[in-house]
Structure 1
Amino acid sequence: MISVIILGAGNVATHLYKAFSKSETVLVKQWYNRTRASISSYANEVAVTDKLNELKEADIYILAVSDDSISQLSTGLPFSNRLVVHTSGSVAMHDLDKKNKIGVFYPLQTFSKAAEIDFTEVPICVEVYEKENLQLLKDLAKAVGCKPHKITTEQRQTLHLAAVFVNNFTNQLYRIGHEICETKNIEFEILHPLIEETAKKIQNMSPFMAQTGPAKRNDKKTIKRQLKLIEKEEHETIYRLLTSSIKKTHHVSNFQPRKGKTKSIK
């Protein structure tokens, strides 16, 4: 049985607690948050506290807090020589106070409290300072059905950068698509099958091979027509930037930006 203590009450912390609670080989010994009210609803399931000096002894302490809070929280821990890990994709492992054994347990997934997560589909990126702790973090990942990946800080930070492109930026494009649909009273749900198929295709082929659309086939008439439909300057800027990027990737003739006065934001 692997005993863990979770520190933090955000999206990652909440989903980790739920995943650990379902595992037969993980015991959530305690849950800490500086504001007890945020985790008080779980008090009947697990010991909760808002005081660092009340933390119990456990195999692993998981700091699932904001990136800016990791260093300060690790420094404030009232013990030493225990395994303390953070869950960030971008913070260096060495930002953790070295009075303890340090590592990273990074679940590469997008987390929202309202959305259920199947942890068997979540890759866990692990990193340790002391090699003897690597297997314990791998075992913790496997205990919730995840596949662990041993990576370096640079690899993890690069993965996080790539994740921003494929998740955060993509989601912003969804939002723009949703906004464009709303301007003409179109249900955004009509695009759901397309979104799902796009994600499904890259399971079996590279994004390069999966690319379609007017930019890829150099359909100048469609591009020109769509630019006229765009009502916001920021949307036009994004359309032109991505069109240019696709053309460059696929060696299509240069995309010339429209000359003259740009549209004002409505």
Structure 2
Amino acid sequence: MAATQVIRSEWTKIRSVASTVWTLSLAVVVTIALGMLISALSKNEFDRMGAQERVDFDPTFISFAGMSLGQLAMIVFGVLVVSNEYSTGMIRTSLAAVPQRGTFLFSKIAVASGLALAVGLATSFAAFFLGQAMLGERRTSVGEPGVLRAVIGGGLYMTLIAMFSMGVAAMLRSPMLSLGILMPFFFLVSNILGNVDATKKVGRYLPDQAGSTIMQVVTPVGDDRPYGPWGGLGIMALWVLAALAGGYVVLKRRDA
């Protein structure tokens, strides 16, 4: 089967599954709503902040506060896109129709990643503009240095989170196992490692900790990361490439 036909087939599969629409919709709503809430609260708290907190105040990054929960919905999307066929047994039919396993996997990932990118960018711009509206006189504008990079980076970050999840799901081949590892890792383990002094230097190289720097415009005082915003996104991209390569190797070597 030609690659264009495989891509068309994967697009049909993805848009015909209700969970795809629900998880992406949840990512949009949670990211925007929580970002607006935190932005409104930050505006009200600004006058009570200490001098150091005001120096570190980053109106752009605050509008992306909902990303911490929105990314969990993107993780679910990435896992379900890949592992649904394993849980239903449809993977045998799919691989019979497309024996070239690399073509099958990367067509699926390309379609899902394109969809995640479109949703991620739309969500990031909406979260930014609505968050700034909530910040009132504390807001910034997209024309300020570093802001447009951060907003576009927010969309790229959401896309890479979904792609990383696809790679892990391709390796583990089980939605429950994949979610059982990824959810606690991003929601708890990564945050703990990134905020405890003893493990902070390790935590800063985890995919979400490194990748989220792309959304920062103001570098907090005392942040001694040896990489900048694009460097952090590059580290996250390396994690994604490793996960996708692992998924490809497992699919190539194991039976459906």
TM-score by length of 1: 0.27
Q: Counting strand residues as a fraction of each chain, which structure ranks higher?
A: 1
Higher RCO, 1 vs 2 (CA within 8 Å, ≥6 residues apart): 2
Q: Which has the larger radius of gyration?
A: 1
TM-score by length of 2: 0.27
